[in-house]
Amino acid sequence: MRRILLATAACAGLASAAVAEPTNIGIILGFTGPLESITPGMAASAELALKEASDSGKLPGGITLAPTRSDSTCIDAAAATTAAQQQVNTQKVAAIVGADCSGVTTAIANNVAIPAGVVMISPSATSPALSTIEDDGYFFRTAPSDARQGEILAAIAMEKGIKEVAVTFTNNDYGKGLADSFGAAFEKAGGKVLISAPHEDGKADYSSEVAALQAAGADTLMVFGYVDQGGVGVVQASLDTGAFESFVFADGMYGQSLIDKIGDDINGKVWGTLPGVEGEAADKFAAYAKENGMDPTGTYVPESYDAGALIALSIAASGSADRTGIRDKMMDVANEPGEKIYAGELAKGIELAAAGTDIDYEGATGVEFVGPGEARGSYRVYEIKDDKAETIGYR
């Protein structure tokens, strides 16, 4: 009888383990708002990494990871904060992939995630101001700071012989931070910013903004805005009036939706930058993404995969989905020393990390955290030709 009872108890234990509640991981991105055309690819990429980790069956205690989506709106800090509170307090997420835009990311970090001790990994919040928030080690990002993007944009512009520019930027933390970074680097290199003016998102007409920018006298317009909002409106108005001969886009302006909306008029008139790498990490991610029906070149798609993967690997290394444990192991799994782990190799990475073996997650973007938990990163340089963005190099 005792053997029967023990066997019954064991079976009950197995059944309980099989139906254990999954561990929720928040996905807080701008499903509506100025980045809504690129957000589906970002979310799907992060969720691909979480699924890969869960399907491995190697997470400690048989943990599975369940993504729970919330809309950051990208622009409404109050709405983003409310969404994060629901994720943290009701969904009980172990960690968060997100947010996306810098302003809402700062709001969530300061008002919700850091006070609650929840790791955030943003794949796309690039404001230099995020480098100095008091985060107690809970904030990370897989995209490099705009302090670096501004320097790269300035260097390329000078190499192309562009000595005078007009700058328009979306009137928020992201736009102002990037405009300041670029302006300082460009003028240090000998260039001149003839005008640097903010624009508001959501307007139907940008003709007055374009008139003021044109009056400054530059042939080239730097556009530090959003692909689905004011940035594209400024570009369309500029093309309609012939105000500028060429345009330079930062990362927030990258997306096929802009090319499709404007049409042939934009071909041959734009170059720009967005985070991206070449080499083994990029090649392996491209193959893995295509196997899973995803476009590996989508804006912040590689960075989103890395954010999800790093959370899973930190859970493995810490031995549980404890929020503080995830924080404490993040730098260990992301950086040297250790065996290199690439996209599509999470089962291997989880097994090694869970066993206490050092790993060095390279992932999709050659992840290396520097300073306060942010990516060193590199940038893809592209031109718009024949109705598509063609890569012309990396910096």
Cβ contact 7:78 at 8 Å:
no
Q: What is the pLDDT of residue 7?
A: 40
Q: What is the pLDDT of residue 15?
A: 38
Tokens of 22: 């999954």
Q: What is the pLDDT of residue 340?
A: 98
Element (H, E) at 41: helix 39-56
Q: Which stretches of the chain score pLDDT less than 70?
A: 1-20
Strand partners, 121: 97, 140
Strand partners, 56: none
Q: How far apart are CA 279 and CA 283, in angstroms?
A: 6
Domains in the chain, please, with CATH? 2-145+280-375 (3.40.50.2300), 147-276+379-394 (3.40.50.2300)
Tokens of 263: 């049409």
Residues in Cβ contact with 19 at an 8 Å cutoff, skipping those fewer than 6 apart:
none
Q: What is the pLDDT of residue 14?
A: 39
Question: What is the full DSSP assignment across 184-240?
Answer: HHHHHTT-EEEEEEEE-TT-S--HHHHHHHHHT--SEEEEES-TTSHHHHHHHHHHH
Residues in Cβ contact with 318 at an 8 Å cutoff, skipping those fewer than 6 apart:
325, 326, 328, 329
Strands 339-342 and 246-249: unpaired
Q: Model confidence over 343-394: pLDDT tens digits? A: 999 999 999 999 999 999 999 999 999 987 999 889 999 999 999 999 999 9
Q: What is the largest CA-CA distance in the chain?
A: 93
Cβ contact 83:31 at 8 Å:
no
Strand partners, 196: 167
Tokens of 369: 């955290």
Q: What is the pLDDT of residue 20?
A: 64
Q: Model confidence over 25-69: pLDDT tens digits? A: 999 999 999 999 999 999 999 999 999 999 999 999 999 999 999
